[in-house]
Structure 1
């Protein structure tokens, strides 16, 4: 499993670590209107899945805003931000932040995504910061488990991987 810390302290990640070349595991999360969303809902596009512990924190806020800005320049790419924030909180946050190109999704109910991608923080019941790029054929082409959960991911590498996918 990926070695990850939170504020310098080691944390335990639960679930299955994924690697480049793997078939992307399916999952079920909730949209802001409580409807279920699976990987198949975005089939036929390249996906950037941006995983954040909580939208109400500084780095997570900045990460989601950055991918929202980048979305304007990425044709044929769907960007999903997944956290365990409640769907109602995600909807409120998106409205206040002007987020309109990234779809925020909640894994609070079952941790389906978190377990499938190995990002559940056992000690906090949050998701670890990570970025995954999945191509149109559901192959994982880029994986970053951010080693310190309070750090930013490598945006440029993820965006470049999405452009190549």
Structure 2
């Protein structure tokens, strides 16, 4: 849990640096991208990750049956990551509302905080999809090893 808190602290720091730099350069790109595209992007990432996780879990179940190994911890972690994505979506919606609200315009600190939160949710979502991609690559590697072992047994 502490590791997760530190990770999101880093995301907030990186996001703050990006927002600060964008503001200093007078660029609206980051603000426009985060407020206009992030929710759609997060929905797409959730859809992709859900489909990928389903395939991953079915393959893990198959491996578990073949080798009498349990993957309950991995399954639980994949489920937690899905909840995490929905949490990030909720944070992004609230932050997007704040970042685009006329009532917040007189309070630049609130606007900056909302943009930092949006950036951190984007970074967090990218990390989740990266982790899922790594899991798929590891699974493919294990599957290749298993095929290689079967070929050696036949020889």
Provide the TM-score with structure 2 as the length reference: 0.28
Bigger Rg, structure 1 or 2: 2
Provide the TM-score with structure 1 as the length reference: 0.27
